[in-house]
């Protein structure tokens, strides 16, 4: 029997918050070949609902429809949901009928205004995380996560993070094989882990030229290998001297420091989402020894890898305890 997935939209919603996750569930339904999902787009009154992009989407009135999974889109209209909470009379009963409820981007404001996130961990687009925390101090807002799963509630960061959320929900339903197949079908990397930061070293460095971007991408894909400046320069098709000057001018960092940041970022993701020993993680991402990785973590994150691992384990245990209640 197909799982009913309901997407709730409202005037001035973000179109990609709907179409990204919707496309993932649609692909899963096709790939699974077993009528896995039935998709619905709903609103307060039904009919055409205008997005911030100027594109209208035809919807059904939500009424008393029941869904296995109820997903609230984000967008400019969602941030106006406090303090008046105009959607609470719709969202609260829909969430009560659903096995799980989720939000994409600032859809978290709607869930929060409805009281569904009280006492829970949640995330939203990094730009609006502080406002969410200010308006709803009873929520533990983690504005640096791709998505957060706390009991039956799932919240995700902005825009494309909704696809990561959908892939995680699909994996929860149908397993990792189907989820990976959906990612390939959508031509995206297999979903980023929920604990992964919304920010990335590659985005923060923001080189201007294709050659420097090419060198950074090469470094990210070969972190477990030695990456002297000569090798990065070759990837950029520049001499080592030209490359060093161009890299510093475009990123504000030396190639060695940038590689260290990439390795630390990759190590942190492995530590937060896995259970391998710290020593194995250090080797896997190219640190010559755990002590060098520890020093990099202290410089970049203000805490050693062991503390990151401990925090991740505690968060996981809290989620498990919440699910058992």
What's the predicted TM-score (pTM) here? Answer: 0.68
Nearest to 114 by CA among 137, 97, 134, 90: 90
Q: Name the E strands within the chain.
A: 3-8, 37-43, 47-50, 56-61, 69-72, 100-103, 121-122, 140-141, 147-150, 153-156
Give pLDDT tens digits for 45-56. Answer: 999 999 999 999
Class in CATH terms, 201-312: mainly alpha
**Parallel, antiparallel, or unpaired: how do β-strands 121-122 and 100-103 relate?**
unpaired
Listed range (4-18, 25-39, 131-145, 191-205) with the worst mean pLDDT? 191-205
Q: Give me the active site residues, please.
A: 105
Q: What are the extents of the domains in the chain?
A: 3-185, 201-312
What is the rounded CA–CA span in Å between residue 208 and residue 213? 8
Q: What is the pLDDT of residues 115-146, one digit of tens each?
A: 999 999 999 998 898 899 999 999 999 877 88
Q: Which span out of 32-36, 185-189, 213-217 was modeled with the highest average pLDDT?
A: 213-217
Decide if 3-185 and 201-312 have a common fold.
Answer: no
**DSSP string computed for 272-302:** HH----HHHHHHHTT-SSHHHHHHHHHHHHS
Q: Please enumerate in sequence order all residues whose Cβ is within 8 A of that of 59, keeping only pairs 6 or more positions apart, or say none.
A: 9, 41, 42, 43, 46, 47, 48, 49
The domain 3-185 having CATH identifier 3.90.1150.10: the answer here is no
């Amino acid at each position: 029997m197909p799982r009913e997935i309901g997407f709730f939209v409202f005037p001035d919603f973000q179109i990609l918050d709907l179409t990204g996750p919707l496309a993932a569930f649609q692909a899963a339904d096709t790939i699974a070949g077993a009528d896995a999902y039935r998709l619905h787009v709903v609103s307060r009154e039904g009919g055409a609902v205008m997005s911030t992009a100027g594109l209208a989407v035809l919807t059904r009135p939500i009424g008393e429809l029941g869904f296995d999974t109820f997903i609230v889109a984000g967008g400019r209209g969602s941030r106006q949901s406090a303090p008046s909470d105009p959607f609470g009379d719709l969202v609260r009963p829909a969430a009560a009928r659903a096995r799980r409820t989720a939000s994409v981007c600032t859809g978290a404001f709607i869930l929060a205004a409805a009281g569904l996130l009280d006492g829970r961990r949640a995330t939203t687009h990094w730009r609006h995380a502080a406002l969410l925390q200010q308006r709803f101090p009873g929520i533990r807002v983690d504005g640096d996560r791709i998505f957060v799963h706390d009991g039956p509630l799932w919240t995700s960061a902005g825009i494309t993070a909704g696809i990561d959320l959908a892939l995680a929900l699909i994996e929860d339903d149908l397993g990792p094989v189907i989820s990976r197949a959906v990612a390939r079908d959508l031509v995206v990397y297999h979903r980023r882990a929920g604990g992964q930061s919304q920010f990335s070293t590659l985005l923060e460095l923001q080189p201007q030229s294709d050659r420097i971007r090419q060198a950074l991408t090469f470094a990210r894909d070969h972190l477990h290998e030695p990456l002297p400046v000569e090798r990065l320069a070759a990837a950029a098709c520049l001499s080592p001297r030209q490359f060093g000057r161009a890299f510093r001018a475009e990123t504000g960092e030396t190639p060695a420091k940038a590689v260290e940041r990439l390795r630390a970022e990759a190590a942190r993701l492995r530590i937060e989402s896995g259970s391998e020993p710290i020593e194995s993680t250090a080797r896997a991402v190219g640190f010559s020894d755990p002590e060098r990785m520890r020093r990099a973590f202290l410089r970049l994150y203000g805490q050693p890898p062991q503390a990151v691992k401990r925090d991740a384990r505690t968060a996981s245990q809290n989620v498990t305890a919440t699910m058992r209640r």
